[in-house]
A and B are shown apart, each in its own frame.
Chain A
Amino acid sequence: MAGVAVSTTINGDAVEYLCQPDEPLLDVLRDRLGLTGAKEGCGTGDCGACSIILDDRLVCSCLVLGAEAEGRRIETVEGMAHGDRLHPLQQKFLEHAALQCGICTPGFLIAAKDLLAKNPDPTEEEIRFGLAGNLCRCTGYDKIVRAVQDAAIVMKGA
């Protein structure tokens, strides 16, 4: 198999890589670029643990080929904090104990970031529907919803 050369932008930085034509973007991020925030839960688009934002759309990176990222803009959980300063969503997830094992957390953070970017003042129902593509087997979701509600308040005030 010939490699595919890809130039893309990840969290604002220009990035170039070679990948196999059938290689999921998730594997490129994790295994070639060392961005291990996105997790492989199911690998089939059901769990949302590998969520990223691709050109302002929330997607599962397991359902995108690395080759497709040419010329596009990728946001991952690694781009959320600024140095030591956590993103309000990250801060509120900590304060509300909205995580236990943590495998689903990067996907929830990115999905919540996308949700609040498009709807800064969501109702609880909108949050629950908006995050329905992310599965968590630890928290029972309530704490995640509270953390997102609280982060929305902080972000509106900012």
Chain B
Amino acid sequence: MRYIRPLSIEDAVGQLAGSAGPAAILAGGSDLLVRMKGGFVEPELIIDIKGITGLSEIRATADGFSIGAAVPCAVLGENAALKKAWPGVVEAAKLIGSKQVQGRCTIVGNLCNASPAADSVPALVAAGARAVVVGPSGKRTIAVETVPTAPGRTSLAKGEIIEAILLGSQAPRSADAYLRFIPRTEMDIAVVSAGVNLTLDEAGVVTAARVAIGAAAPTVLLVEEAAEALIGRKLDEAALERLAKICSGACRPIDDKRGTIEFRRKVAGVLARRAAQTAYARAGGK
């Protein structure tokens, strides 16, 4: 096994693409080191990306934010501008693990680990976030929801690294929110979760919406029909009822010790409804 700390993304990509055996990207390590210890992965090459310029920064861009792949989630919570623009993304990222884990874990790691229960992913999907992928054939930008393809699997090709997550600047009267259900008060993995992002007009009518459900299918669900149920309406009881029903119906959950199929379906609807109410209030809707 080798440990390397490249100083450029090109070098990291080259090393990753050129490695004969299994290679792993190390940012926060809060998934990788646990999996190595458990014997689930045995990389021959560990590529620590924290030495790469810019990857540990949140940058304000012309149209929003660029969050580097090595930025710990704790830093997201300390960025006032990001918190103001994307409170749902930040609250989701802040739910991952303890304070100790927060100091290390990253949203790109959360995305690439490809757990269906990843907390930050439904919030990022609802926010319309995009991932900047760098690989041997150059750079491309893809929607976050296209990254996980199955539990533990991603659409990234060999040699590809996600360098950053891009978030737009929120339109006026817009806000997002994220909620999850866990049986404890904190430090647990989502049994079901929901992220909602809404834009309102001056009268409080929803003009744009994105609704994402987590931990209710092999990958995060972007529920377009749920968004359509909200668009063109205020967040009245009938709209909320339809939203909940559509989200419950969109779930393809599993039965396990943390929740039954029936429970997850019901709670997905409840959480979508509550997250929509929070996003609506944050956006200034009454």
A43 touches B37 (CB 8 A): yes
Kindly list chain A residues whose C-beta atoms are within 8 Å of the C-beta of B28. Answer: 63
Kindly list chain A residues whose C-beta atoms are within 8 Å of the C-beta of B30. Answer: 45, 63
User: Given A67-B48, A111-B99, A133-B98, do A59 and B104 touch, yes or no (CB 8 Å)?
Assistant: yes
B103 touches A58 (CB 8 A): yes
By the criterion of a CB under 8 Å from any partner CB, how many residues of chain B are at the interface? 27
User: Given A22-B36, A62-B33, A70-B5, do A45 and B101 touch, yes or no (CB 8 Å)?
Assistant: yes
The minimal Cβ–Cβ distance linking B158 to chain A, given in whole angstroms, is: 21
For chain B, residues 14 to 46, give those with C-beta under 8 angstroms from any C-beta of chain A: 26, 28-30, 33-34, 36-38, 46
User: Given A21-B1, A57-B72, A129-B186, do A65 and B99 touch, yes or no (CB 8 Å)?
Assistant: no
- Nearest CB in chain A to that of B50: its residue: A68
Kindly list chain B residues whose C-beta atoms are within 8 Å of the C-beta of A122. Answer: none
By the criterion of a CB under 8 Å from any partner CB, how many residues of chain A are at the interface? 31
Asked whether A80 is an interface residue with its Cβ less than 8 Å from the other chain, the reply is no
Q: Number of A-B pairs whose CB atoms are under 8 Å? A: 85
A54 touches B3 (CB 8 A): no
B34 touches A63 (CB 8 A): yes
Kindly list chain B residues whose C-beta atoms are within 8 Å of the C-beta of A129. Answer: 186
For chain A, residues 122 to 143, give those with C-beta under 8 angstroms from any C-beta of chain B: 129-130, 132-134
- Nearest CB in chain B to that of A21: its residue: B3
B97 touches A133 (CB 8 A): yes
